[in-house]
Chain A
Amino acid sequence: KNQVEQSPQSLIILEGKNCTLQCNYTVSPFSNLRWYKQDTGRGPVSLTIMTFSENTKSNGRYTATLDADTKQSSLHITASQLSDSASYICVVSPRGYKLSFGAGTTVTVRA
């Protein structure tokens, strides 16, 4: 069973609207959690990195939250733009270097 579960698998939103992506994980012990944006045919690009002691971190219109007690994280996209269309991947790092990847949420922003 994957240790990092993301939902929804995909979603479609209208330009200008907000959306929230979810990530639940069971990885333990936990070091940090990352959100990446992956455009089609490209490598992942880091959006946020949070350690277990951080609750929220923002990067422009992207805001990530983390609840280490419930092992849940979310990524909120504000005022979506067409360029936000991509796959968003939740990645959890245990202590050590081996990352655990979620399957991603595909976001499609429509005009």
Chain B
Amino acid sequence: GAVVSQHPSRVICKSGTSVKIECRSLDFQATTMFWYRQFPKQSLMLMATSNEGSKATYEQGVEKDKFLINHASLTLSTLTVTSAHPEDSSFYICSARARDNYGYTFGSGTRLTVV
């Protein structure tokens, strides 16, 4: 079945630094990738949608300059949290969807802690 690899699984960084999270589709071409944020005991909140080769579409309230998304290939999307602050600490999850497949496969998530 479809597999999405997300790295790192955990990261601790100092306030003011930037962190990059990678999301790779291992056995299919992901024409669309999604980035979510999840707070404890809450549901996933969509941050942005990215299509290969084009700019990401951000949800209302999500700062595009703070959360940089790159989807340069059909198998890789990256989320960079720039100038991270403690309030950015959260669980970030990506998911990927193939062109002709209505299934969505999620990555294993990244726990970001900003100290």
Contacts and interface: CB of A to CB of B under 8 A. Distances in A.
Interface residues of A, number: 21
Interface of B: 4, 6, 32, 41-44, 46, 49, 91, 93, 95, 97, 102-109, 111
A42 B109 contact: yes
B43 A97 contact: no
Interface of A: 31-32, 34, 36, 41-46, 49, 89, 93, 97-99, 101-104, 106
Contact of A44 (B41, B44, B102, B103): B44
Contact of B42 (A34, A49, A103): A103
A50 B109 CA distance: 25
27 contacts: A31-B102, A32-B102, A34-B104, A36-B106, A41-B111, A42-B108, A42-B109, A43-B6, A43-B107, A43-B108, A43-B109, A44-B106, A46-B103, A46-B104, A49-B102, A89-B43, A93-B102, A97-B32, A97-B97, A98-B49, A99-B46, A99-B104, A101-B43, A102-B43, A103-B42, A104-B43, A106-B41
Contacts of B6: 43
Given A36-B106, A41-B111, A98-B49, 6 more contacts: A32-B102, A43-B95, A46-B104, A49-B102, A89-B43, A89-B44
A43 to B, nearest CB: 4
B44 A97 contact: no
